[in-house]
Structure 1
C-alpha cells in the first residue's frame, strides 16, 4: 500500500509516541511527545535533558523513502534554536525493527562535542 500524507502523519505520530515512551521509561518520567507549536516548532519530544540538565531537542523521523540526514539535522538545529535548547538531534526509524532501543540516532560531530563538553566552570 502506498504511503500518503495522512498515513505518513499517522506513522510519524506513532513513532514519536514509541520513542517518547521508551525515553520516559528509561530516562525521566517527564519526557513526552511535544504538542505541535506551528511555525516555531521546538521538536517532537519534550523534557529531554543531558547529564548536565541542558535541554535536548529530538526530531523523530519515520520516513517512507530514503534517509535525508542533512535536512533532518537542519530541522533539529532550527528547532533547538526555537526552543533555546543546548543541542538538537535526530532519531530515525530503522527499517526491519520496531524495538525503540534499536532506532538510529544521528547528529553532527559538533553536536556530539556539545553533548560531551561540560558546562563552563564545571571541571568534572
Structure 2
C-alpha cells in the first residue's frame, strides 16, 4: 500500500508537496481518508498524483535549462569584458612606461644643459 512518504520519495519531493498536489488534482481522483485521517491511495489516485507532478514539473526543467543557458551567456560576456579590461590595463601600463622613459630622457637632457652652462666660463 502506498503512503505519502513512499510517493514523495519516488518523485523526489517533500511530503508537503504531495499534500499540495492532492489538493490540486480533481476530487474524483483524490485519495480518500480513513477513520484515522490517513489517506488510502488507490492506483488511480497515485497515477493522478504522478501525472499532475510530471505535467507541472516539466516546464520547470525547461525554465531551469533556459536559466542555465542565460547564465552561461552572461558568464561568456563577463569573460569577454574582463579580457577587454585586461587589454586596456596592458596598454595603459605601456603608456606609463613610455611616459616614464620620456621623463627620464628629458631630465637627463636638462641635466646636460645645466651642466654645460655651469661649466662654461663664458656664460658666467
TM bucket (normalised to shorter chain) is under 0.3
Structure with more helix by fraction = 2
Q: Which has the larger radius of gyration?
A: 2
Structure with more strand by fraction = 1
Structure number with greater CO (CA < 8 Å, separation at least 6) is: 1
